[in-house]
């Protein structure tokens, strides 16, 4: 049955409309969880507010379990769900640069749009920076291309690489995530600070 758009159950235009609706849900949840505040987001790195970790991993794990159950019931064909291709070096270097951007700017792209939507000027400036960064990458692409395309690995799943079934890996990830949540609660008690 699913994914609906890939199996032509809904038309491309409906798909775009639903993208908009999904976006509304995404933006609403992010803002309600406090992701529009850069100081709240940055709290993750100083231990005073672990909301990013909690929301992020609860979201990831929920969607992962949901997809596995959908696949089990035959509602969605996981082979047709897009998996980002892996280019190992590029993924690590890009991730580290994003980490630097995160700690300096206090946002990530998704949350900056949320912040900008409720009038945070720093979020708007961050978005401006994002555009400059992407333009820079586009115009300087020859400089980045070797790195960008090094160590291609197609689109592997971690479970396949570890020789585990998706379900067993999901279980391990859930245990790890829950462990982090309890740790996060403990850390927040240790570094108490008024909510921003």
Partner 1 sequence: MKPLHYLTLILMILALIIALVPQNTTRPYKLTALQMLTEIRAGTQFVSPDEVADKIVKKDPSIQMIDVRNPREFDMFSLPGAINIPLQDILSETNFDLLNQGTKMNIFYSNGSTEANEAWLLTRQLGYQNNYVLQGGLNYWMETILNPMPPGNVISNDEIARYDFRKAASMAMGGGNISAIAPSAAAPAGTPKPGVVPVQKKKKASGGC
Partner 2 sequence: MNQPKKSRYLNPYIGGVLLGLVLLAANFISGRGLGASGAIKSVVVATTQTVAPKYAARTKYFQEYHEEHSGPPLKNWLVFQMLGVIVGGFASGAFAGRLKFKVEHSPEITSRRRLVFALLGGIFFGVGSQLGRGCTSGSALSGIAVISFGGIITMMAIFGGAYALAWFFRKNWI
Taking the CB of residue 50, how many other CB atoms lie within 10 A of it?
A: 20
Taking the CB of residue 76, how many other CB atoms lie within 10 A of it?
A: 21
Among 141, 171, 191, 196, binds partner 1 (CB under 8 A): 171
Nearest to 184 by CA among 30, 36, 57: 57
Could you give the CA distance from residue 44 to residue 101 in angstroms, rounded to a whole number?
A: 14
Task: Kindly identify the residues of this chain, within the stretch 82-111, that bind partner 1 according to CB under 8 A.
Answer: 82-84
Residues in the chain: 196
Q: Which does 188 bind (CB under 5 to 8 A by kind): partner 2, partner 1, none?
A: none
Could you give the CA distance from residue 68 to residue 10 in angstroms, rounded to a whole number?
A: 22
Could you give the CA distance from residue 142 to residue 107 in angstroms, rounded to a whole number?
A: 28
Q: Which does 101 bind (CB under 5 to 8 A by kind): partner 2, partner 1, none?
A: partner 2
Among 86, 124, 166, 187, binds partner 1 (CB under 8 A): 166
Q: Which does 176 bind (CB under 5 to 8 A by kind): partner 1, partner 2, none?
A: none
Task: Kindly identify the residues of this chain, within the stretch 6-35, that bind partner 1 according to CB under 8 A.
Answer: 6, 8
Nearer to partner 1, 117 or 180 (CB): 180
Could you give the CA distance from residue 8 to residue 80 in angstroms, rounded to a whole number?
A: 12
> x-or-dash pattern for partner 2, window 76-105, by CB under 8 A?
x-x-xxxxxxxxx-xxxxxxxxxxxxxxxx
Nearer to partner 1, 85 or 140 (CB): 85
């Amino acid at each position: 049955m699913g994914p609906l758009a890939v199996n032509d159950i809904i038309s491309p235009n409906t798909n775009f409309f639903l993208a908009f609706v999904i976006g509304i849900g995404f933006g609403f949840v992010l803002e309600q969880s406090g992701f529009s505040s850069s100081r709240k987001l940055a709290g993750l790195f100083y231990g005073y507010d672990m909301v990013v970790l909690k929301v992020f991993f609860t979201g990831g794990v929920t969607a992962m379990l949901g997809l596995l159950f959908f696949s089990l019931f035959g509602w969605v064909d996981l082979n047709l769900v897009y998996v980002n291709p892996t280019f190992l070096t590029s993924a690590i270097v890009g991730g580290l640069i994003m980490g630097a951007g995160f700690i300096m700017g206090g946002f990530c792209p998704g949350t900056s749009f949320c912040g900008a939507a409720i009038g945070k000027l720093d979020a708007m400036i961050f978005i401006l920076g994002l555009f400059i960064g992407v333009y820079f990458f586009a115009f300087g692409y020859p400089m980045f291309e070797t790195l960008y395309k090094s160590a291609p690995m197609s689109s592997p799943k971690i479970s396949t690489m570890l020789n585990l079934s998706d379900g067993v890996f999901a279980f391990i990830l859930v245990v790890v995530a829950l462990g982090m949540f309890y740790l996060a609660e403990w850390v927040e008690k240790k570094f108490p600070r008024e909510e921003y």
